[in-house]
Structure 1
């Protein structure tokens, strides 16, 4: 194929390059296949990205090359891509503010995929029409297993958390991280601060760690985590981000952060490696969006 082609996406003109470039060498998965996946999943993905400042992980030389996190809108960002300027405490480059990308349309998804932005990460809050941060509209709990624990142990903890959250009238949805763990996503009315949400998540994590100390840990210290599942409540801190539902992950083979039905969590048979782009597209076609959290 030619090195560069011109395409039109919903009235936006884009230059797409190097479609034959292999980004996942072990699977022979190309940049063209990355673009195809993100184009086809976009109708389901977009509601989860809308109004959320986006952090990307880019791998221009493939997943076996050097990747890098990118928060700032890169040079050459099209003028039609929405950006919002936000403060970034502790920026590694000493910037007080950064122009974040906010994905609102398919053309932006395609443009990012062409930049080899394989992973898409979002905060638990949105911005309003003027680009001002709102209070969080979701609580996210990250379940991170310490080997030899793995996804089966995460499923067990997820079921415990679902039951515990239900006692406070909270409903949650589940998804894999696309790697070794998973996340639970809880919709919120948006009337509490990030500090308040984070404090609540911490209290629940510590409660479960006391109840099931052989399985659950609520502290980040690595030496406490072998064979246990770390409930990472800190994902709710204001400037933390979590991999977005339906995002690809940059592992040896292409996997997806895939929403799960609770009967699948109860069965405990799914694996991260089995939730490939084609499988996830088929799941969405058959079952729709299993993470109906907006």
Structure 2
């Protein structure tokens, strides 16, 4: 089956007969389900052996899908980053895997998702002749009937999700730009699905990024212009540009290069840096620009002004209303992180961090001059100069910031708010929706005490059939999390449990662990802080940077990483995103665990004691 394809355009269509969908960057895929399940690419290649997590998920949903068969869905197989963006580079790497063990590991730790936007066959009936608006209504019904997510959601562990259809182009576009998505597809409400056709009833708008660069070579056989920027004194190649030139521009440029060349071989004509261009592209993949297009000549620039540092700052689109001031300001002492790097970290980690910040009263620790200045302060009240888009919530006379979105997070980042501390409940909940054990050794030199305590707690939790997660504090200890359903338990309930675990640790190893709050009386033992888990108290947010010299992060861990080799220093602002891209997020299933956590039987026993 050949896909129906959208036409590239640069202007939104006018009129009310259009709907808009997020365009995700992935593998176009058809899900066909009759007696057997198949998932094939636009070129007819089978995908389920490389992405077995999709097969396993669908087979688990077999009873829900049975009344809908035979079924054919059109969608995009993606490595979902957030509700508006997918990671094409990570998907390409996954798509090239052939090792069964590596595929199995990725499927478990970093599963991909099938984002569905059309239904072609339903209960054996051909749906392609129906108008788009009717097909999409049927699609919504399918997802409701099967109990599947009605919108893209990284915090939902279900691997088949619906791409929503929106009426407001500008509103959706603002979200796509803010979240660094690929673009939007506009679909005419009366359009039918036409196999293999590039249609003017579907239009695609791409979220281009722009870079200033210079030409270094011309490829004689195909007319490609190779471009670079300066990285220090060395040339840093960015790829080759072919599209976007007018015929006369392309001819004049080729002639100029031929007349001013610095060298030539069988394939290339080389030229010294001198001709500067502005090029638009989608994203970097393997250090090369994807889909580069010529935008304009930059006769006002010198090649020395086209630097890798400026290019790196332009790689992520910063939304309107957010100004990044002093991007080259150094933030950390021993780890070379500038303000622009810090902002980029927040932008890239946001899809993992924001679900924990959302709908919670926020306390930040700000470092106005970075770690070099040593002038840190807690900020709870929202300052008067905060922009209008910042949401706040009043509690106990304090007007707290509520960081619900990326725009707020980036604004806080520009204020050099490095640490993000949150309570154990949301604004709307009546009690805690998680239990956290803060394992605080007397110093970093005693970190292995935290490791030992965490592993002992894990043994108990496993025996009680409680699902737990663990992260570093980013400072000197570890924190064990037990997610709970919303509005089911009080702090008195959770105190029964935290007291029980703390007493268990102390009774097992009284020379190693203590519940003594006075530091001077702890005698070098690890403090099991169960009192901290209470209303009004806070904990460092997962993935939050810390105000340490080495830019460490409150890093979620896989339980098998908690051993004698574990080190706080291994998890930093400079490597956290790469770690998640490589291994997946250890907290990926955190929110889906809440509703299945079997805490009631444990609490029932504790109440009888």
TM-score of the pair, normalised by structure 2: 0.43
Does the alignment pair 1:254 with 2:551?
yes
Q: Partner of 1:285 in structure 2? A: 581
- Give the alignment partner of residue 422 of structure 2, picking from 122, 135, 146: 122
Report what 1:101 is aligned to: 401
Determine the structure 2 residue equivalent to 1:208.
Answer: 505
CA gap of 1:81–1:215, structure 2 versus 1, over 3 A, is same
Summarize the alignment of residues 188-227 of structure 1 with structure 2, pairs less than 5 Å apart.
Answer: 188-190=484-486, 191-227=488-524
Structure 1 runs of 4+ aligned residues shifted over 4 Å read: 7-10
Paired position in structure 2 for 1:92 = none
- Which structure has the larger Rg? 2
Counterparts of 1:182 and 1:212, CA distance in 2:
18
Question: 1: distance between equivalents of 2:575 and 2:523?
Answer: 31
CA distance in 2, matches of 1:135, 1:56: 22
Shift of the alpha carbon at 1:157? Answer: 0.6
Q: Distance in 1 between matches of 2:566 and 2:444?
A: 17
Q: CA RMSD in A?
A: 2.2
Superposition deviation, residue 69 in structure 1: 0.5
Q: Is the 8 A contact 1:234 1:240 kept in 2?
A: no
1:270 CA drift (Å): 2.3
The more displaced of 19-28 and 109-118 is 19-28
Superposed, which structure 2 residues align to 1:154-233 within 5 Å?
Answer: 154-190=450-486, 191-233=488-530
**1:28 maps to what in 2?**
336
Contact 1:149-1:228 within 8 A present in 2 as well: no
Q: Could you tell me how far apart the structure 1 residues matched to 2:386 and 2:464 are? A: 44
- Residues in 1 aligned to 2:444 and 2:558: alpha-carbon distance in whole angstroms: 25
1:77 and 2:386 equivalent? yes
Quote the offset at 1:121 in angstroms. Answer: 0.6
Tell me which moved more, 220-229 or 206-215. Answer: 220-229
The separation in 1 between residues aligned to 2:352 and 2:452, in whole angstroms, is 27
User: What's the offset of the Cα at 1:149?
Assistant: 5.2
SS state at 2:407 partner? helix
Conservation of the 8 A alpha-carbon contact between 2:437 and 2:529: yes
Q: Name the SS of the counterpart of 2:439 in structure 1.
A: strand
Equivalence for 2:141 = none
Structure possessing the higher relative contact order (Cα contacts under 8 Å, 6 or more residues apart): 1
- Residue by residue over 1:233-292, the C-alpha shift from the partner in whole angstroms, topping out at 9 and shown as x without a partner, is 122110110000000000112110101111100x33121112112321111112222123
* Distance in 1, Cα, partners of 2:448 & 2:505: 17
Gaps of 5+ in 1: 88-96
Looking at structure 1, the residues matched to 499 and 513 of structure 2 have their Cα atoms a distance apart, in angstroms, of 13
1:154-203 per-residue CA deviation (whole Å, 9 max, x = no partner) reads: 11110111122334432211100111111011101231112332342123
Q: Give the deviation of 1:77 after TM superposition.
A: 1.6
Counterpart for residue 246 of structure 2: none
Aligned counterparts of 1:67 and 1:262: Cα–Cα separation in 2: 33
Deviations 1:129-157 (A, max 9, x none): xxxx4311001110000247522221111
Q: When the two structures are aligned, how many residues end up with a matched partner?
A: 277
Contact 2:358–2:402 under 8 Å retained in 1:
yes
The answer on whether the counterparts of 1:50 and 1:102 sit within 8 Å (CA) in structure 2 is yes
The match for 1:91 is none
Give the TM-score of the pair, scaled to structure 1. 0.88
Question: SS in structure 2 opposite 1:180?
Answer: coil
User: Do the aligned partners of residues 214 and 149 (structure 1) sit closer, same or farther apart at CA in structure 2, a change above 3 Å counting?
Assistant: farther
Deviation at 1:42, TM superposition (A): 0.7
Aligned in 2, Cα 1:147/1:8: closer, same or farther, shift over 3 Å? closer
Partners of 1:185 and 1:293 within 8 A in 2: no
Q: Note the alpha carbon deviations across 1:7-54, whole angstroms, 9 max, x for none.
A: 9745x4212211111121332321111111111111111111111111
| Counterpart contact for 2:443–2:476, Cα < 8 Å | no
Distance 1:150 1:109 in 2: 34
Q: 1:25 to 1:147 in 2, by over 3 A?
A: closer
| Cα drift, residue 112 of structure 1 | 0.5
In the alignment, the residues of structure 2 paired with residue 16 and residue 283 of structure 1 have an alpha-carbon distance, to the nearest angstrom, of 26
The yes-or-no answer on 1:40 pairing with 2:40 is no
Describe how 1:259-274 pairs up with structure 2 within 5 A. 259-265=556-562, 267-274=563-570
Out of 419, 425, 433, the residue aligned to residue 137 of structure 1 is: 433
Question: Secondary structure, in 3 states, of the residue corresponding to 1:51?
Answer: coil
Q: Determine if contact 2:425/2:433 at 8 Å carries over to the other structure.
A: yes
